[in-house]
């Protein structure tokens, strides 16, 4: 029971969605999408393709995460925003 409560609390702190990208993420999810998530507790944004390629940003804000949701993303754009290859 204690473990379930801890897991539930972790899930509350993590938002996730799928966003469109204009380049290959080795591979992308269906219809050229990647998974993006924000962890409020660790202030972390992670963006991952369907396999093992991803980019990440530490000390990120939820506002940054929300602004990225509606954009067509690319590795080049994310790098300019301070993301690093994971």
Between the CA of residue 77 and those of 21, 35, 50, 70, 81, what are the distances in Å?
10, 16, 20, 14, 6
* Residues above pLDDT 70, as percent of the chain: 85
Task: Specify the pLDDT at position 11.
Answer: 52
Averaged pLDDT, 44-73: 95
Task: Specify the pLDDT at position 3.
Answer: 44
Q: Which two tokens stand for residue 36?
A: 């993006």
* Residues above pLDDT 90, as percent of the chain: 73
pLDDT digits (tens, 9 = 90+) for 19-57: 999 999 989 899 899 999 999 999 999 999 998 899 999
How many structural domains does the chain have? 1
Could you tell me the residue range of the domain that residue 7 belongs to?
2-85
The alpha-carbon radius of gyration of the chain (Å, integer) is 13
Task: Specify the pLDDT at position 52.
Answer: 86
User: Among 84, 33, 32, which Cα is nearest to 54's?
Assistant: 84
Local structure of residue 42 (DSSP, 8 states): T
């Amino acid at each position: 029971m204690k473990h379930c409560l801890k897991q539930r609390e972790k899930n509350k702190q993590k938002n996730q969605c799928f966003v469109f990208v204009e380049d290959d993420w080795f591979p992308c999810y269906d219809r050229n999408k990647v998974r993006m998530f924000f962890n409020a507790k660790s202030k972390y944004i992670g963006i991952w393709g369907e396999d093992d390629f991803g980019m990440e940003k530490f000390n990120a804000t939820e506002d940054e995460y929300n602004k990225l949701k509606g954009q067509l993303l690319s590795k080049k754009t994310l790098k300019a925003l301070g993301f690093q290859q994971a």
